[in-house]
């Protein structure tokens, strides 16, 4: 990975956003997804969905 935050190609389930965050910070992709879902549910899901969609559009796709 080139150093900047990017969407993951290896750890992509939907758009690679959580996988990219996990790779960038050296975290577990599964743990990152679980934490993101829990955070989204606790914030009544709507803001979490908006943030995910914005990150999906803004973050570049990691190179192969």
pTM of the model: 0.81
| pLDDT at residue number 45 | 66
| pLDDT at residue number 2 | 53
DSSP letters along 2-64, please?
A: -SS--B-STT-SSSSHHHHHHHHHT--HHHHHHHHHHHHHHTTSHHHHHHHHHHHHHSPBPP-
- Condensed to tens digits (0 to 9), the pLDDT of residues 3-57 reads 689 999 888 898 999 999 999 999 999 999 999 999 888 887 678 888 899 999 9
| pLDDT at residue number 1 | 42
| pLDDT at residue number 56 | 95
Which is more confident, 2 or 47? 47
């Amino acid at each position: 990975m080139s150093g900047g935050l990017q969407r993951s190609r290896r750890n992509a389930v939907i758009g690679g956003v959580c996988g990219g965050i996990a790779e960038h910070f050296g975290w577990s992709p599964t743990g990152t997804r679980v934490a993101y879902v829990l955070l989204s549910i606790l914030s009544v899901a709507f803001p979490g969905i908006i943030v995910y969609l914005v990150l999906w559009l803004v973050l570049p796709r990691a190179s192969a």
